[in-house]
Amino acid sequence: MRFLFILLLTVLAIPAGLFADIRLRVVSDTAEKDLAWMPLSFRVQGDPDLPGAKVRRLSDGKELPAQLERIKGGVIVHWVSPRLAAGSRGAWSLELQSKAPKKNYRVKVLPQGTGSSRIDIDGQAFSSYVYGGKGLFKPYFYPLRNPAGGNLTRHYPLKSGVAGERADHPHHRSFWFTHGEVNGVDFWAEGAKTGRIVHRGFKGKESGAVYGRLTSTNSWETVKGEKILEERRDVRIFPLDSGQVLMDFDITLVATDGDVHFGSTKEGSFGIRVAGTMKQTSGGSIKNSRGGSGAGQCWGKPAEWVDYYGPVDGKEVGVTIMDHPDSFRHPTHWHVRDYGLFAANPFGHRHFYGRKEAEKGAYRMQKGKAIRFKYRLYIHHGDTAKSGVANVYAGFSHPPLLHLKR
């Protein structure tokens, strides 16, 4: 048996029995910008039962948490690079191990009764993914812990009577993905005549040293239970330092049962309702990648990212939604409000630009076709500048290419 180590176009063959405890040197291209908090990966093609791997940063010898993803024909080694300065090149040593390392999971995905999975980071509850239960209209994450330890999203309607919160828009359930008009069915609101996004099963739930992962399939259905489309959702949660977190979403909508029409409406799609004290009307702030400030300059505008930050329990925290260049209709538009609603929406032209532009927001997906959304959530300390949002986005949108150094 032989093992092939492949990164981009680089191939290295190593005889069987010698792969274990071998160190490989991986280097990046020169960074054009300052990059921050980049999940990186290296593919090892061969036996998927590779016991383990270590990753060490060569600039200072520091060992970084590593995690193996087992795929058909091999594995992928994952780690996170905290920084890469403009004009520099990163270099890492990968040690392929003959014995499985001791489990040291920073992220644990745990069962939590019927219809919910709990996500813990470093031994503390971070969030729960709620996907089932009586009266559920769509899956959602609640709560989301901010880096200072408090809640990042509004409690209502899941918890009432919280000081500083408005009891409005009960369909704004913490953090969710949906759309307001799909084949004429409203999936945004919640009521007797609205559609439901029904969880149909997990393909996998994974805990790990680098990330936790949830992969699932959902069915978007009418009030009569008729299927309109299938959703394939892949979520990875990466803990950073000081309580900061990345959440990467890779969502594919597939027209499995006929053509699908997405209506042009502001009511969508990848949304958060921030904590009551974070909202702009309570002293919070909204910034976008194109210099916009406040809801008035960011609502209905295209941008690569939007950051919403403000005080929670006396400490400034924030959350950024980032739109990947490969995502549908990048750069997306934004349905972001001063009262705390915050959503990426590529379909909202009728409300953003007026009825004459409505058709530019609508989209018809033919049977058998699919559209893909790739978003990153960055939960951070401080404001947009202090948290380095632009540098994190640069690492997300254009990560450096990696090469095997012989």
Q: What is the mean pLDDT of residues 37-61?
A: 89
The helix/strand/coil state of 328 is: coil
Residue boundaries of the structural domains of the chain: 2-100, 107-397
Q: How far apart are CA 285 and CA 309, in angstroms?
A: 5
Neighbours of 72 (CB within 10 A): 6
Instruction: Report pLDDT for 163.
Output: 87
Residue 236: name the closest of 78, 361, 387, 400 by CA.
78
Sign of the Cα torsion 228, 180, 224, 233 reads positive
Match domain 107-397 to its CATH number in 2.30.110, 1.10.287, 1.20.140, 2.70.98: 2.70.98
Query: In DSSP terms, which residues pair with 372 in a beta bridge?
Result: 252
Instruction: Report pLDDT for 21.
Output: 62
pTM: 0.94
Judged against a pLDDT cut of 60, whether residue 18 lies above it is answered with: no
Judged against a pLDDT cut of 90, whether residue 31 lies above it is answered with: yes
Q: Which CATH class is domain 2-100?
A: mainly beta
Residue-wise pLDDT for 137-157, tens only, equals: 999 999 999 999 999 999 999
pLDDT-based confidence at residue 98 (cuts at 50, 70, 90): confident
Instruction: Report pLDDT for 133.
Output: 93
